[in-house]
Amino acid sequence: NAGVTQTPKFQVLKTGQSMTLQCAQDMNHEYMSWYRQDPGMGLRLIHYSVGAGITDQGEVPNGYNVSRSTTEDFPLRLLSAAPSQTSVYFCASREQNGANVLTFGAGSRLTVL
Partner 1 sequence: GENVEQHPSTLSVQEGDSAVIKCTYSDSASNYFPWYKQELGKRPQLIIDIRSNVGEKKDQRIAVTLNKTAKHFSLHITETQPEDSAVYFCAARDTGNQFYFGTGTSLTVIP
DSSP β-bridge partners for residue 44: 36
Cα–Cα distance between 74 and 44 in angstroms, integer?
17
Least separation in angstroms between residue 40's CB and partner 1 is 6
Question: Counting beta carbons within 10 angstroms of the beta carbon of residue 63, is it exposed (0 to 12), middle (13 to 18) or buried (19 or more)?
Answer: middle
Phi–psi pair at 77, nearest 5 degrees = -110, 135
Least separation in angstroms between residue 65's CB and partner 1 is 19
DSSP 80: S
Least separation in angstroms between residue 68's CB and partner 1 is 16
Cα–Cα distance between 27 and 29 in angstroms, integer?
5
Q: Which residues bind partner 1 (CB under 8 A)?
A: 31, 35, 40-45, 48, 58-59, 90, 96, 100-102, 104-107
